[in-house]
Amino acid sequence: MTTKPPSSVSEHPGDSFEKIAYTSVSGIPTEEPNDRNRLGYHVWRWLTIKQGTLEGAIRESGCRMKIARGEALEIISRELEKQGIKVR
């Protein structure tokens, strides 16, 4: 029996909402990596649907962060603004 190599993974372009969202949360310390992925998903959803607030998206994610939610909001807002997304 032989094992096939894994499929190749292609990354999203740098200007896609997916890349922007997941890059913006990459510096948030979380209990588990999946918490950060879930947070990134909710930020992506906020960017694409444009409903509610970024703070609401962070709260909705249920992410177990090792920092205060307000501090996470500041970090994510700053990262999004670096990438050309106006948060406020």
For the whole model, what pTM was predicted?
0.84
Rounded to 5 degrees, what are φ and ψ at 65? Answer: -95, 155
What's the total number of domains in the chain?
1
Q: Specify if 7 maps to a domain.
A: no
Q: Which residue has the higher pLDDT, 86 or 1?
A: 86
pLDDT of residue 62: 94
Helix runs in 5-68, H state only: 17-24, 33-49, 54-61
pLDDT of residue 10: 75
Instruction: Please report where in the chains the tokens 């948060």 appear, as a residue.
Output: 87
Q: Are 85 and 47 in contact (CB under 8 A)?
A: yes
One-letter amino acid at 17 equals: F
Q: Specify if 12 maps to a domain.
A: no
Does pLDDT of 75 surpass 90? yes
23 token code pair: 């890059």
Domain containing 78 equals 17-82
- Give the torsion sign (CA, 29, 84, 38, 74): positive
Q: pLDDT, tens digit, for every residue of 17-54?
A: 999 999 999 999 999 999 999 999 999 999 999 889 99
Q: Specify if 28 maps to a domain.
A: yes
pLDDT of residue 28: 95
Q: Specify if 24 maps to a domain.
A: yes
